[in-house]
Chain A
Amino acid sequence: MNDQAKVIGTTSNAWHGVSTGFLIGAGLCLLTIFVALLSFIWTPYDVTDLNVTQKLLSPSFAHPFGTDHFGRDVLSMIMVGARNSLAVALVAVIIGAGIGTPLGLLAAARHGMVGEVVMRTNDLIFAFPSLLMAVMITAVFGPGAINAIVAIGIFNIPVFARVARGAAIGLWTREFILSARTAGKSTFLISIQHILPNLLGLLIVQGAIQFALGVVAEAGLSYVGLGAQPPMPSWGRMLAEAQTMIGFAPWLAIFPGFAIMIVVFGFGLVGDGLRDFLDPRIRQER
């Protein structure tokens, strides 16, 4: 038992636990982030440049991913669209974690009336799909990237609240929490100093998973016109516009589709890899 505990704790060979899946995922994520950042300073063509003479060109050396019906370069649009996808998913995760985690901690610390109210409200929010949420928000505030962020962010709140609460309840019965209580610490202090740091690994994993889901949700919202508005390119709307031309210009649908797939796949792998890596029981079996 003693020696086992030591093995878990040593950090010198910590990277041995990392799987190939994680490395592939991390590579895909970094690629996407790099492309998104690059688009701020350079894209092959200007995405607001309409050039009807160049419309619907199939992939070539000048336009590796082809052009659309307005003559815009698809590669450039995907690069700029990556910004939008990542930003929406990231902010939505921050909103979800930032509100959901404290709620979950609160519900775990105050089981009884407060905890019940928090969790049942969560269930209520959970019952609305992000699409429905987006439709409602759009109905009130009009469409736009900000509203997509808010809709997906609200959808993330109960996810983080549940994860945080479930793990926190387990921690509250541990002896080190009992001794923190005999040190006269308030529930708030204990939640911040002991519970939250011990949950961090779990929350990071959930964050990676929610990020991947956020990219899909954003694409879905843009597809039905509730996400970023023209002329800002977005992967979901590119897919929607490609739909009518799929018979003679399939590249318009294939490349944005691939972009979405790569991001989701990458962050999914990172999430799984982190989970395995952070869970000592799984790490030891390897």
Chain B
Amino acid sequence: MSLLKIEKLCVSIGHASILKSISLQLNAGEIVGLAGESGSGKSMTAMAVLGLLPPKANMSGTVKLENAILSGASENDLCAIRGRDIGIIFQEPMTALNPVMTIGDQIAETVRIHRKVSRTEARTIAREMLDRVGLRAPQFGLGRYPHNLSGGQRQRVAIAIALALKPKLIIADEPTTALDVTTQAEILDLLNRLVREDGAAMILVTHDLAVVAQVADRVVVMKHGEIVDEGSVDHVFRNSNNPYTVKLIKNTDHQPERAEQGGRSGKPVLQVEQLVREYAGRRKLLKPDPPFRAVDNVSFEICPHENVGLVGESGCGKSTLLRTILGLDAPQAGEVRVFGESFPARNLAKTKELRRKIQVVFQDPFGSFDPRWRVEKIIAENFHLYDRAISSKQERMRIEAMLEQVGLNGRDADRFPHEFSGGQRQRIAIARALITEPSVIALDEAVSALDVTVRAKVLDLLADLSDRLGVAYLFVTHDLTVVRSITDRVMVMKAGKIVEEGDTEAVFSNPQHPYTIDLLNAAPNLNRALERRKAIGHPTEVSQ
């Protein structure tokens, strides 16, 4: 008998239909990956199982866990089931834990709500659970607070809470998306091992097909609130004939076509020389903490038409380096040069001239525009870098031409940024950067927030623009797939220093520094995950 049975589940909010007749079965001990792009309804499906839909949502259909019908059950009944029969792990380990409660109390609390045990017994269980997730005493005592744990450690605590009562079903909503690649690999392994040990079933909601391939037995692909493809992981990822699935798989490591590279030639457009950026330590009464070196003596240069990647995990200093290069932060030592000239220059006119040569595209397609400005004004902001004002008619013509260059419509200039999708907004951001005809564009995680299909298109656009306009890129990112697909050269950054640098293919195929090796091994990769499955023979392949 199946553990969880979802039949004809429909969810709508207002007039918008979010889920359209979802039917899904889950056997005991089975791990199902629920994959799809943003807006596909994958998280909504998980929330519907838990009865945690937003207050305005309308739901029909049945959700059955063993013999209990969850759909339409009272909040009290659902509370008894959540935590005891269904464990939940969310994406953000930062917000999923209560910051003013010790980790021991948070685990013990879950135990005591559902089971009549004494305080001491609950604490014993909490201790056991922390040991199981690899947070051992005495370093990780029950009295620790979430704020002095790292993101990965917090996610381990969240897993401990979810598994404390040995639930039959675990629902994990993007459990590793917010984590760095090396941490992500550890957490996935841990989650997989513990769920298998307990013989629990799991619904793993994720946008990352590589994560599904690493962990799940079966995969369900969703699109626009419908299930479009379903089957065992090996079958779907190798032989699916569903066009959408095929497109998704192809786009995960999309390789944009680029013109033949003539090697590094010409005078460098951007030179960074022994750059140091420090943050002052905490001011204490007698002895201040030593300053923190976010960027430690970094040097490199970028030649015309060259694509350079800068990779590293969060906190390695790559964003600070970028801000310093852009002249948004002042360095403590070292120099940035644009076309051989010191940047920012001493006089304002020169600085403006150099700024036209180095532009930037930021990560967040939602935050990088003033919400009150129209697209025309947003792009025109960069005309501020020209001393002589251009006539507004000319300005408008250039903006429309630029919008067409990045694959939008000239008339889009009159619209507001919120009227566009994430991918379109990134195109607007690229148009804004290109309007001053720069020689180098820095891209700060510019495609990280995008879905794979959209990301593939934006990467194609970037490659095309680079070929046509000869602009060089500096890709600052944690995403190794992107770096591999579009850069000529890559720099690996760790703790403020560049630890390895070389041609992208050489670094990827033959990494030298131990950190680079770790990074490459940990990075989620669909093909490698499938290879590994084949090699070890996946443990519980449930037949359909």
Contacts and interface: CB of A to CB of B under 8 A. Distances in A.
Contacts of B360: 178-179, 182
**Which of B363, B370, B429 gathers the greatest number of chain A CB atoms within 10 Å?**
B370
Contact of B381 (A8, A183, A197, A198): A183
A178 B360 CA distance: 9
Interface string A1-39: 111011011000000000000000000000000000000
Contacts of B385: 183-184
Given A174-B367, A178-B362, A1 B381 contact: no
B259 interface: no
Contacts of B528: none
Given A181-B328, A183-B381, A5 B368 contact: no
B362 A179 contact: yes
B366 A184 contact: no
Interface string B304-336: 000000000000000000010011100000000
B60 interface: no
A185 interface: yes
A178 B416 contact: no
Contacts of A1: 38-39, 366, 422
Interface string A158-182: 0000000000000000111011111
A198 B323 CA distance: 24
Contacts of B327: 182
Interface in B356-388: 359-360, 362-364, 366-372, 381-382, 384-385
B367 A198 contact: no
B147 interface: no
A194 interface: yes
Contacts, number: 69
B352 interface: yes
A162 B237 CA distance: 56
Interface residues of B, number: 34
Given A2-B421, A8-B418, A176 B369 contact: yes
B370 to A, nearest CB: 5
Interface in B338-363: 348, 351-352, 355, 359-360, 362-363
A176 B370 contact: yes
Contacts of A181: 328
A39 B83 CA distance: 67
A194 B373 CA distance: 9
Contact of A198 (B16, B326, B372): B372
B363 A175 contact: yes
B355 A182 contact: yes
**Which of A1, A8, A176, A197 gathers the greatest number of chain B CB atoms within 10 Å?**
A176
A183 B418 contact: no
A180 B352 CA distance: 12
B419 A184 contact: no
B84 interface: no
Given A8-B418, A184-B352, A176 B384 contact: no
B432 interface: yes
B328 A184 contact: no
A184 B351 CA distance: 8
B418 A175 contact: no
Given A3-B16, A180-B381, A9 B328 contact: no
A181 B360 CA distance: 11
**Which of A8, A9, A178 gathers the greatest number of chain B CB atoms within 10 Å?**
A178
Nearest to B352: A184
**Which of A9, A180, A183, A184 gathers the greatest number of chain B CB atoms within 10 Å?**
A184
**Which of A175, A179, A180 gathers the greatest number of chain B CB atoms within 10 Å?**
A179
Given A179-B360, A182-B328, A5 B39 contact: no
B359 A6 contact: no
Contact of B416 (A2, A9, A175, A189): A9
Given A176-B367, A179-B362, A179-B432, A185 B384 contact: yes
Contact of B422 (A2, A178, A180): A2
A9 B416 CA distance: 9
A146 to B, nearest CB: 37
A197 B370 CA distance: 10
Contacts of B421: 2
Contacts of B432: 179
Contacts of B328: 178, 181-182
24 contacts: A1-B38, A1-B39, A1-B366, A2-B39, A2-B421, A2-B422, A3-B39, A5-B366, A6-B418, A174-B367, A175-B363, A176-B370, A179-B362, A179-B368, A179-B381, A180-B370, A180-B381, A182-B327, A182-B355, A182-B359, A183-B382, A183-B384, A184-B384, A198-B371
Interface of B: 16, 38-39, 323, 326-328, 348, 351-352, 355, 359-360, 362-364, 366-372, 381-382, 384-385, 416, 418-419, 421-422, 429, 432
Interface of A: 1-3, 5-6, 8-9, 174-176, 178-185, 189, 194, 197-198
Given A180-B370, A182-B328, 18 more contacts: A1-B39, A1-B366, A3-B16, A6-B418, A176-B367, A178-B360, A179-B381, A180-B381, A181-B328, A183-B381, A183-B382, A183-B384, A184-B351, A184-B355, A184-B384, A197-B372, A198-B370, A198-B372
